[in-house]
Amino acid sequence: MKFYELPPAKRRELLKQQGIELDVIDTEVLDELNLLSENVVGQLRLPVGIVQNLRVNGQNYQVPMATEEPSVVAAANHGASIAAKAGGFIAESHRDGIWGQIILQVSENFQAAKLQAFFPELIKLTNNKFASLVNHGGGVKTITAKQEAELLFLKILVDPAEAMGANKVNSILEYMAAKLAACPGIEQKLFAILSNYPSQITKVKVEVPVAIIGGRKTAQKIALLSKIGQTDPMRAVTNNKGIMNGIDAVLLATGNDTRAVAAACGVWSSSSGSYTSLSEWIVQEDKLIGQLSVPLLIGTVGGSINSRKDIKQSYRILGRNITSNQLADIIAAIGLANNLAALLAIATQGIQKGHMKLQARNIVASLKATSQEQIAVLQKLVSSKKYSQAAAREFLQEVRKENNASRN
């Protein structure tokens, strides 16, 4: 049998025979994971942290974030807390659909007008074929065509309803391409596949009185940092990375596709013709005003969402009946909350002080020590402000000496 055909336990045995040491994993968990991916041999765990009070459109949410970086969760909580004092975030999602592409090679005598006349009938046929999606509020919405020499570019907008919709959209496009291939002047289909080009855009805004963040001078510095991010790609990409820290963590926790969103955000950042920050902050009168616009190809059903217990827990935290629009609003608000916290830190004490204090947890976690010893070492690292492996090892020796002395 080929490796992918073996049960996961057999794959693990083969790796062990190669001298590879594998972590212990529960058999039931391993079998469940094997249903989700290919060549499964183990698992990778991430901690799930909580943003306790994210206020969006007048409603409070507890938001799960899957990330191993404590500063990301801390920043999201800090930014959310500041925004809540100012009334919270206002967000709006435009989820018209997902773009699909069908590229056809056409003959010299091809007549685009005749094919375009077939589009309404094609939409009707397709929506009848995929009636279950239509019944949930989705379906094919529009088709537009553009011809360049012997190539015909078709752009199809498909509403996936509450789902991420990638697999469904690809099935729809394949069906449509097969119908189109029989039309006069069509020589061959080159491809029919969804595009991750930005389509489902979420805009979020917050207005913070300058007094909440330490005064007008601090607010003006944040606005200046933001202005630099609008024109300097080196600053913009780092600013956007901080935004994506928060967005990715919620995407992971809710079973959504981080790669699709990252790809779309990369294009969106360059839509003006040059790479720029996804967020913008300005000072007007006595308020710091921030806004963020991001493409979020997400869903609350589909993919592996319904088959993963850990993901289901995230939806229980968020609220069982949460819609895709609400989730997109939440994700964008988390991105702006992280951005606010980061810019505020840079404008005041600097980013590294708080970051290293939180990263001390990772340093301590690598020590071969009991949990009580790790807690004691963490306290010493924070109080001494020495954040290194060497300092952690020295403090561990001190803790053990102190423990031995207390026993005598």
What sections of 161-318 are H helices per DSSP? 166-181, 216-231, 233-253, 258-269, 309-318
Asked whether the CA dihedral 310, 311, 313, 314 is positive or negative, the reply is positive
Instruction: Give the pLDDT of residue 106.
Output: 94
54: left (phi over 0), alpha (psi -120 to 50) or beta: beta
Split at pLDDT 50, 70, 90, the class of 356 is low
Please tell me the chain's helix, strand, coil percentages from 3-state DSSP, rounded to the nearest 5: 50, 20, 25
Alpha-carbon Rg of the chain, whole angstroms? 26
Question: pLDDT tens across 50-97, in order?
Answer: 999 999 999 999 999 999 999 999 999 999 999 999 999 999 999 889
**Is residue 395 scored above 90 in pLDDT?**
no
Sequence-separated (6 or more) residues with CB below 8 Å from residue 233: 274, 275, 276
302 backbone dihedrals φ, ψ, rounded to 5°: 90, 175
Catalytic one of 69, 159, 162, 248: 69
Instruction: Place 15 in a pLDDT band, splitting at 50, 70 and 90.
Output: very high
Determine which one of 159, 162, 248, 257 is catalytic. 257
In this prediction, residues 123-150 reach a mean pLDDT of 94
pLDDT tens for each residue of 252-295: 999 999 999 999 999 999 999 999 999 999 999 999 999 999 99
pLDDT value of position 397 = 80
From the candidates 78, 168, 355, 380, give the one annotated as an active-site residue.
Answer: 355
CA distance 147 to 119: 15
Is 3.30.750.24 the CATH classification of the domain at 48-94+200-348? Answer: no
Q: What are phi and psi of 203, to 5 degrees?
A: -115, 135
Give residue limits of the domains in the chain. Answer: 3-28, 48-94+200-348, 98-194, 358-407
307 or 243: which carries more pLDDT confidence?
243
The predicted model gives 182-187 an average pLDDT of 92
The model's confidence at residue 391, banded by pLDDT at 50, 70 and 90, is confident
Report the candidate in 281, 248, 227 with the shortest Cα–Cα distance to residue 82.
281
For the stretch 181-185, contacts whose Cβ atoms lie closer than 8 Å and that sit 24 or more positions apart, written own/partner, are: 181/104, 183/114, 183/115, 183/118, 184/110, 184/111, 184/114, 185/106, 185/107, 185/109, 185/110, 185/111, 185/114, 185/115
pLDDT, mean over the chain: 91
Other Cβ atoms within 10 Å of 339 Cβ, number: 30
Closest C-alpha to 76, from 342, 385, 338: 338
Question: What global pTM score does this model have?
Answer: 0.85
Give the per-residue pLDDT at 354.
57
CATH number for region 98-194? 3.30.70.420
The whole-number pLDDT of residue 400 equals 77
Residue 69 among the catalytic residues: yes
**Residue 351 pLDDT > 70:** no
Dmax (CA) for the chain in angstroms is: 97
Task: Establish whether 136 is a catalytic residue.
Answer: no
For residue 404, what pLDDT band results from cuts at 50, 70 and 90?
Answer: confident
pLDDT digit string (tens) for 156-177?
Answer: 999 998 888 888 999 999 999 9
The catalytic residue among 10, 141, 241, 385 is 241
Q: Please name the residue ranges forming H helices in 35-185.
A: 70-85, 112-117, 119-129, 131-135, 166-181
Residue 366: predicted pLDDT = 75
Active site residue 257: yes
Is pLDDT larger for residue 64 or for residue 405? 64
Closest CA to 197 of 110, 247, 270: 270
Which residues are bridge partners to 54 per DSSP?
61
**Among this protein's residues, is 108 annotated catalytic?**
no
Least confident of 115-124, 305-314, 385-394: 385-394
Percent above pLDDT 90 for the chain: 76
Residue 394 has pLDDT above 90, yes or no: no
Who's near 267: CB < 8 A, 6+ residues apart?
197, 198, 295
In the numeric block, the tokens 């949460």 are attached to 322
Q: Which of 40, 42, 47 is nearest to 67 (CA)?
A: 47
Q: Helix (H) and strand (E) counts for the chain?
A: 15, 10
